[in-house]
Copies of this chain bind each other. A is one copy, B any other.
Amino acid sequence: MKNTFGNNVCLTIFGESHGPAVGAVLDGLPAGLPVEEPFLALCMDKRRARGDGLSTARTEADVVHILSGVYHGHTTGTPITLEIQNQNTRSGDYEKTAQLLRPGHADYTAYAKYHGWQDARGGGHFSGRITAGLTAAGAICLSALQAKGISIATHLYRCAGIADTPFAGAAPQQLAQQMQKVQRCVGFPLIDTSVEASMQSEIRKAGAEGDSTGGILETAILGLPAGVGEPFFDSVESALAHMALSIPAVKGIEFGSGFAFADLLGSQANDPLRWENDHAVFYTNHNGGINGGISNGMPILFRTAIKPTPSIFKPQQTISWPDGGNAELQLQGRHDPCIAPRAAIVQTCAAAVAVCDLICAWHGSQWLCTDAPIL
């Protein structure tokens, strides 16, 4: 399905970095879900660059125009089309070095796939800019889930070599507090905000040297009922990984103990069950809230690896294309020295789309409704 995700809640995203607009079509949500434009604007704002040395100087207003599917502040049940215009484009930055393939970017693969027909300005369809549509669409899902008691938050688990406190593995109450703290963050999404200054300092330092840094994002989904997902190809892990690894710069994902499972014994890795207050309770959450591909009612926990922004301002060895021949590239333009802080809300919103799709596959889309029908 190429640029469409999901079977029940279907998201199609579109746009080029320097084209007229980027956006998304979100289909399959039920009618009657509130769409609050201030909440959309808040999510867009969390993703927005600030031109403060921590993110690119290309700052966009990112006003979300709703072209269809929303009426009187609620979904109508038909496809929701969101359009975000590109305004602050400086295509000239790219012209001088247009023939030199940027290492770490999709320039070479774009040629391999599109044979030169691609709109390469600003990375075209490969730009992180395309995540604006993903974020806006995901924000609608996020707010629908919130109304059903399902919250999602993503923090900077690690960035530029500095670690935040991790999400609590098992205790839903402590986790809820951590998530609320992250959701309130105006600047970097952190549980331990005391590390913000040193993180920013490291990012600025890399940027000042013409370099960039990576990070790890950790996402928690709290309140997802047990029983969502499929044993095989639509496992919760498969669906969330499919979505997360679509986000540019994400190069890995792990659930629960993830790669640390390799060195655990089964007796350490299994999550014991206990009966408390007439409910099943897991004492630990090494499985990240998923067993056999299906949610077990515990918080879903996953981390993604974010590679350093490939756009750096140090001289790089590359080739000229399509004519061939070696060259040295000195990039111009405006870039983020670290994309992880802005990617956090993208990951949250993207996960919200995947979770809505999984839930609707199981319970039907009406499950998401909270407001009483007009009729």
Contacts and interface: CB of A to CB of B under 8 A. Distances in A.
A81 B254 contact: no
Interface string A321-344: 110111000000000000000000
Contacts of A88: none
A355 interface: no
A223 B340 CA distance: 32
A9 to B, nearest CB: 9
A308 B67 CA distance: 30
A334 B48 CA distance: 45
Contact of A14 (B68, B252, B258, B287): B68
A146 to B, nearest CB: 19
Contacts of A251: 237, 254-258, 261, 287-288
Contact of A7 (B7, B12, B258): B7
Interface residues of A, number: 162
Nearest to A24: B25
Given A212-B266, A245-B238, A226 B112 contact: yes
Contacts of A74: 117
Contact of A287 (B104, B294, B309): B104
Interface in A272-298: 272-275, 278, 280, 283, 286-288, 290-297
Interface string A88-119: 00000000000001011111111111111111
A186 to B, nearest CB: 24
A214 B319 contact: no
A294 B78 CA distance: 13
A269 B104 contact: yes
